[in-house]
Amino acid sequence: MSLKKQIIEITPPGRIETEVLISHPQPCGYCRGNGWHWGSNYRNVPCPDCGGSGEVRAMVTIKWEPVKK
């Protein structure tokens, strides 16, 4: 569950389009920023959530569409 709160003010652009908002990188919650976890046979295995980078980011997509009446 996310703890940080941010407000996104949503205002339609001049034309209908899809917007993507990307957050700043944050430490991965699964591997705690290490980039790996202990796998079978006590070996370091790349983290399945961050792919070994130790960081993740949120991507919020806003799709504008006309109101159908």
How high is the pLDDT of residue 8? 81
Q: Is the pLDDT of residue 2 over 70?
A: no
Place of tokens 């290490």: 34
Q: CB of 37 within 8 A of CB of 30?
A: yes
pTM over 0.85, yes/no? no
Quick one: which H or E segment has residue 37? strand 36-38
pLDDT greater than 70 at residue 58: yes
User: Which stretches within 1-69 are classed as H helix?
Assistant: none
**Quick one: pLDDT at residue 14?**
83
Query: pLDDT by residue (tens digit) across 20-47?
Result: 989 899 999 999 999 998 877 778 899 9
- pLDDT higher than threshold 90 for residue 15: no
